Amino acid sequence: MHKDVLEPINKAAVQNVQLPQKAVFDHVVECFKALGEGTRAKILYALQEEPLCVRDLAIVVGISESGISHQLSELKDKHLVKVERQGNVMYYAIAYEHLYNLLKEAEYYADHIISGHPDHPKK
């Protein structure tokens, strides 16, 4: 039985690569999966300003309240939104400040692509 073993072109570069721990990597992938669906991304953008209830999110995003509830459940399961009750109304907010920065960086990236700007020099 012949076993193919790949030899690196740049051994030092390969040895320098450090992937995140599996648990961290899995959360990163789940976060990007959630952001990869348009409705969920719109919800997170809407929540950047202030917490909103399901009805208000439905109006902003342009889908039904049941559709918003379903998407909020997904976002909550992935720890991207949190919920707080005020009287009879549940208000949703972005769960971690990091998400604001992630969305902003994604916008900067998109702006560079659309405008044709080059990448920033590496540090």
In a domain, 43, yes or no: yes
**Once rounded to an integer, what is the mean pLDDT over residues 77-100?**
96
Domain residues for the domain of 94 are: 20-115
CA distance 12 to 65: 54
In a domain, 13, yes or no: no
CATH of the domain at 62: 1.10.10.10
In a domain, 1, yes or no: no
3 secondary structure, DSSP code: -
CB 95 within 8 A of CB 81: yes
- pLDDT tens per residue across span 51-72: 999 999 999 999 999 999 999 9
- pLDDT tens per residue across span 7-56: 999 999 999 999 999 999 999 999 999 999 999 999 999 999 999 999 99
How many domains does the structure of the chain reveal?
1
Please tell me the total number of residues recorded for the chain in this structure. Answer: 123
In a domain, 2, yes or no: no
pTM of the model: 0.83
What are the φ and ψ backbone dihedral angles of 40, each rounded to 5 degrees?
A: -65, -40
Nearest to 81 by CA among 36, 25, 41: 41
CB 77 within 8 A of CB 25: no
